[in-house]
Amino acid sequence: METVVEVEGNDEAKLKECGIRNSTSSLSSPKQISDPVVYKLVRLEGDGRIVPATDDELMEVESLLIDDKCQMHIVADPGQTVGCISNEGSSSGIAQLESLEGLLQSRNKEAGPDKLNARLEVPDNWWHHAVIFCNVESQLLKLVKSSFLYSAFEEISLLLMLRLACGSPYCSSAYLIVDSQCCDQHDKLLHIDAKLQCEIPLQETVPSPAPSLSESHFNQSGSFGECSHSSDKLVAGGSTLSVVTTKPDFSKLKGEICLDNLSIKELHETFKATFGRETTVKDKQWLKRRISMGLTNSCDVSVTSFIIKDNKLVKKGNEEISNCMDGSYAEDPPIGNQKDLPTSLVSQLDYHQVVPEKIRLENPNLDDNSGSDDHQTEQRAAKRVRKPTKRYIEELSEVESKESNGRLMNLAKNPEHGLISLKSHVRLVRNVPLDGRTVVTRLDSLGGYGIQVPCVSRVRRSRPRKNFMALLKFNPSGMGMEATLVKKSLGDHSFPPDDGKESRVLKASSTPEHVHHQKFNPSAMGMEATLVKKALGDHSFPPDDGKESRVLKASSTPEHVHHKFIGVPEKDKQFSVMSAIGLGHNTELKFINSSRDSDDNVVTVPTPKGGLRRKHHRAWTLSEVMKLVEGVSRYGAGRWSEIKRLAFASYSYRTSVDLKDKWRNLLKASLAQTPQDNGMNSRKSTGAMPIPAPILLKVRELAEKQAQVLPNLSSTKIAGSTRKNVHEKQTGFL
DNA sequence: GTTAGGG
DNA sequence: CCCTAAC
């Protein structure tokens, strides 16, 4: 079966159809290909035309590639000119692609400058993703277009990048073939007839310096011929595109897996087993989501006896209770349904983001889990419910906005879902209320470009972060001056008074997220802000009205890197990209410790390894631990401030939170250890002081005691009175 | 301001 | 240890 899909046209449905059809059928494939996802870099014009991405955009992708430490190949027909992405620049690539090891077949070698039809043969048993740069009325948007279910764009390994051109030197586009969740079982090939209109040299393809691509597989030659040659060698040398990926190994997923209980490391393993490749993502939530999605969508799973339920991968046989789950994830639907309700495959978390309202309305049963969730509340009564953090929401909404754009594309292209023209959709994009969440947009003026950013996700409502320093974790070599300046400013201005409340001023986190939503404190950070502003090209820095500059996002997540710095002038973009890369590689700036170092707890520690984590860590002594245990036994776990005041009065450096944390750790330790030996806590040689078993035992006892007492609601009164007593005692002391 | 929990 | 939502 051959399905021709036009990128330009109403292809979404087709793609989706194909994907689904083939995940449920078992068509044999002409070729075995392990890299099932195709990324295409195009720009969507306001009138709906799709034009190839510019070099600038490509560059971002390249930086992404670097960041992801992925290998990159350029493959081209020897006879054709090949755009070479090299250290020198990604520029002038006019590439016409002939073949790619049977993966791609360019059918229109002779295509005129107006049109290029590149026929791609790719396995259709895959998830389709497309990255689209969308330029709508000078509003540069980025879309992640997911034509098949949810697209978790972040974690993909880019394997391949091809550049196509249509004869015009101003025209090029990129096809990225990325390895992703490969369902290699039936590699039926799908033909994509990608019609690219290359007519308008919208932007001059100015040769632009590209970030170093030392890892990639091409030479730095300047001439096309050489490039072509080298890349040709690549192909001829038989280095097919398999490369990075290993196959998913579901044999590692034996029995029942509850993702919620897994550590990051375990999640990583599961991830690997699921997707056949490693990930470096540390975000548990993401990993869980990803894995469960991967599993849910994976034909490997669907053909095996596993199903996904409630964050668990369980054997079908074991699974009888079907409806009374806590409902984090939708059940794997009957196969037959898939075509009609593709989204039912999606985890519920994402379901609301993906499924158009209409579909949901028409299929209310899909909403089972979110509707009457009495059992949910039951389960949650035990623990305090934490709503997702703002950061999470923000990031989610960011992804969502991308998704929504993709969805809208779908809508526009799919007569079933919407009849409005693409154009109007694109224009409305973020003003469409999605699932009750109104996504508003505002137009930021960045670098002279209009960039539409979702307000809702960018506003930081609480106090501005103080860890702006993270912003300066730039490549030291490149950013020496800024670093120095900041240093200076730290020393001279000796930091904002800061209500005197916050003693730990130097909050520089190693986690990208922190940088991510950075906002400058206008009063204190004037200098730095100026600097960055300057670095950004002095282009109308957004007023410090509580909205932040989105340009300053920095993250090691490829996606983030990718989505950054659009609209930043070339020179600065270069810088920005470099910065991002620097971040991604844990380039760290050696901070000098704040001058307050001595007086209190403000110490920043450039950690030997991963990065820059300032901790004023004070190891817990045994006596402290004992005191804590005693305090807990006396006042009860949870009364941390009491314990702090009464038992730790002299330990000024131990906050109640510290106590709480320590107790938590003790608890963990005690639970982890007791089943086994009773010797000295046989933990790994963490360097941490081993906690004597007796203490752990006591911890355990206390914990059990607490556990027995607390669930009883009637005890709250007792607890209340005790607290009162404590308070009285306390006042007596004072 | 404290506490619970996630990271 | 840090952060932040919930209380």
Predicted confidence (pLDDT) per residue in A222-280, tens digit: 222 222 333 332 222 222 222 233 344 444 443 445 566 677 777 787 777 767 777 77
**Chain Cα centroid distance, residue A294:** 15
pLDDT for res A353: 34
Q: Where are the alpha helices (DSSP H) in A310-372?
A: 348-354, 357-362, 368-371
pLDDT band at residue A609 under the 50/70/90 scheme: very low
pLDDT for res A632: 87
Joined together, the tokens standing for residue A610 give 């991963």
DSSP A99: B
**Which residues, at least 6 apart from A254, have a Cβ–Cβ distance to it below 8 Å?**
none
Distance, angstroms, CA A642 to C1' B1?
Answer: 13
Judge whether A117 and A195 are in contact, CB under 8 Å: yes
Residue A455, number of CB atoms within 10 A of its CB:
16
Asked whether the predicted pLDDT for residue A164 surpasses 50, the reply is: no
pLDDT for res A616: 63
DSSP A344: G
Protein-nucleic contacts, chain A 233-262 to strand C, CB < 7 Å: none
Joined together, the tokens standing for residue A579 give 């910065």
Joined together, the tokens standing for residue A390 give 């703002």
Structure confidence by residue, pLDDT tens digits, A46-63? 454 555 555 555 555 444
Give the separation between CA A629 and CA A622, rounded to whole angstroms.
10
Judge whether A51 and A209 are in contact, CB under 8 Å: no
Asked whether the predicted pLDDT for residue A115 surpasses 60, the reply is: no
Asked whether the predicted pLDDT for residue A626 surpasses 50, the reply is: yes
pLDDT band at residue A393 under the 50/70/90 scheme: low
Instruction: Report, as an integer, the average pLDDT of A340-367.
Output: 33
Which bases along strand C come within 7 Å of a protein CB atom?
Answer: 1-7
A657 closest-nt by C1' vs CA: B3
Q: Where are the alpha helices (DSSP H) in A218-343?
A: 224-236, 264-275, 284-297, 299-303
A385 closest-nt by C1' vs CA: C6
Tell me the pLDDT of chain A averaged across its residues.
Answer: 42
pLDDT for res A226: 29
pLDDT band at residue A475 under the 50/70/90 scheme: very low
Judge whether A366 and A355 are in contact, CB under 8 Å: yes
pLDDT for res A617: 74
Class of A622-733 per CATH?
Answer: mainly alpha
Asked whether the predicted pLDDT for residue A388 surpasses 60, the reply is: yes
Torsion of Cα atoms, A152 then A154 then A156 then A160, to 10° = 120
**Chain Cα centroid distance, residue A482:** 28
Pairwise pLDDT comparison (A175 vs A616), residue with the higher score: A616
Joined together, the tokens standing for residue A189 give 């090939």
pLDDT band at residue A467 under the 50/70/90 scheme: very low
Judge whether A332 and A319 are in contact, CB under 8 Å: no
Phi-psi bin for A636: left (phi > 0), alpha (psi -120 to 50), beta? Answer: left
A37-41, A72-76, A384-388: the lowest-pLDDT one: A72-76
pLDDT band at residue A674 under the 50/70/90 scheme: low
Q: From the C1' of C1, which residue's alpha carbon is nearest?
A: A615
Q: From the C1' of C3, which residue's alpha carbon is nearest?
A: A389
**Chain Cα centroid distance, residue A136:** 25
Protein-nucleic contacts, chain A 588-617 to strand C, CB < 7 Å: 614-617
Domain positions in chain A:
4-236, 250-382, 390-458, 467-546+548-597, 622-733
Q: Which of A31-45, A232-246, A644-658 has the largest mean confidence?
A: A644-658
The answer to whether some atom of strand C lies closer than 7 Å to the beta carbon of A507 is yes
Q: From the C1' of B5, which residue's alpha carbon is nearest?
A: A386
Judge whether A557 and A512 are in contact, CB under 8 Å: yes
pLDDT for res A543: 33
pLDDT for res A621: 85
DSSP string, A504-541: ------SSHHHHHT----TTT-HHHHHHHHHHTTS--P
A642 closest-nt by C1' vs CA: B2
pLDDT band at residue A392 under the 50/70/90 scheme: low
DSSP string, A589-614: --PPPPGGGTTSS----B-SSS-B--
Instruction: Report, as an integer, the average pLDDT of A443-451.
Output: 31
pLDDT for res A692: 79
Phi-psi bin for A276: left (phi > 0), alpha (psi -120 to 50), beta? Answer: left
pLDDT for res A618: 80
Protein-nucleic contacts, chain A 376-415 to strand C, CB < 7 Å: 384-387, 389-391
Phi-psi bin for A586: left (phi > 0), alpha (psi -120 to 50), beta? Answer: left
pLDDT for res A646: 86
Give the separation between CA A141 and CA A134, rounded to whole angstroms.
5
Asked whether the predicted pLDDT for residue A664 surpasses 80, the reply is: yes
Asked whether the predicted pLDDT for residue A218 surpasses 70, the reply is: no
pLDDT band at residue A378 under the 50/70/90 scheme: very low
Distance, angstroms, CA A537 to C1' C1?
Answer: 37
Judge whether A330 and A311 are in contact, CB under 8 Å: no
Judge whether A161 and A68 are in contact, CB under 8 Å: no
Judge whether A103 and A120 are in contact, CB under 8 Å: yes
Q: Is A523 exposed, middle or buried (0-12, 13-18, 19+ CB in 10 A)?
A: exposed
